[in-house]
Amino acid sequence: MKRVLLSMGLLSFLLQASFAQNSVLPRPSEMVKHNLGSMDFHSMDPANGINAIHVNNFHGMTGGVTEYGGSAFFGRSWLLNPGTHSQLTAQIMSVNQDAIIANGTYYSRNGSLLLVPLFYGIRKDLFYQELQDVLLPYVETAAGPVLGMLFPYDRGFLGSFSNMSTDLGMGMFFGTGLDYPINKKTMGTLNIRYNIIHFPGDFSGRANYNSLSILFGFSRILMR
């Protein structure tokens, strides 16, 4: 029995020595030395971090402020080619009419005003080769219809809906942003855009609702 155990031990030793010398995998000591033992091999997946949003479809949502008040933004993007996306975006803009000034005077508040642009456009990633896996700047532009909804005051909750007045305008925006990784499929984003919004006539005191938007939020990768 001792001879059998001794023979098995010697054979095991020889096999391990041969494997250590001929295997393409690093030795455990080398993995520790080069900090390879803690490596997440999934990080080599092309759907990791910033390169995922660069080469995949995605959707996202952000919240922030415009010159007139609070704003929320929802978007869905489709990959055209690496770094170039078409995108459909919907934004809800709450307009504080006391903040709208014309000819040095405030407009009087006659209701709660919401603007809902629905824009279709293009997004282009920038400096991907230089900054991949760290940050992803981009520029974007889009255009489309804008629904204006004015809810009158002093009518109660249901009354404000039944007496709501609407108008349809047109608009577009130019913007830039910066994506940063949260995890493999989620990116945080900072977005700054200038909205150009016009109605065909006077709508709640004016026809022009151009404004600057600053938005923070996230995007989620949708695998192709």
What type of residue is 187?
Answer: M
What are the tens digits of pLDDT across the range 111-165?
678 899 999 999 999 999 888 888 999 999 999 999 998 877 665 556 566 677 8
C-alpha 114/C-alpha 130 separation (Å) is 41
Taking 50 as the threshold, does the pLDDT of residue 19 lie above it? Answer: no
Residue 94 pLDDT? 86
Instruction: Give the number of other CB atoms < 10 A from CB of residue 46.
Output: 10
Which is more confidently placed, 42 or 175? 175
Least confident of 2-6, 149-153, 210-214: 2-6
Three-state DSSP class for residue 81: strand
- The strand ranges marked E within the chain are 57-66, 70-81, 84-95, 101-102, 105-106, 111-125, 136-152, 165-181, 186-203, 206-208, 211-222
C-alpha 136/C-alpha 127 separation (Å) is 7
What's the chain's average pLDDT? 76
C-alpha 58/C-alpha 44 separation (Å) is 20
Least confident of 59-73, 122-136, 154-168, 208-222: 154-168
Cβ partners under 8 Å of residue 31, min gap 6 = 37
Taking 60 as the threshold, does the pLDDT of residue 216 lie above it? Answer: yes
In sequence order, what DSSP letters do the residues of 8-29 get, joined into one string?
Answer: HHHHHHHHHHHHHHH-SSPPHH
Taking 70 as the threshold, does the pLDDT of residue 177 lie above it? Answer: yes
Cα torsion 157, 161, 164, 168 to 10°: value is: 130
Taking 60 as the threshold, does the pLDDT of residue 9 lie above it? Answer: no
pTM here?
0.70
Give me the mean pLDDT over the 69-74 stretch. 88
Residue 151 pLDDT? 79
Q: Hey, which of 140-149, 162-171, 198-207 has the most confident mean pLDDT?
A: 140-149
C-alpha 97/C-alpha 65 separation (Å) is 14
Domains of the chain: 2-33 (no CATH), 49-222 (2.40.160.20)
Q: What is the DSSP letter of 155?
A: S
Residue 37 pLDDT? 40
Share of the chain above pLDDT 90, in %: 38
Instruction: Give the number of other CB atoms < 10 A from CB of residue 183.
Output: 11
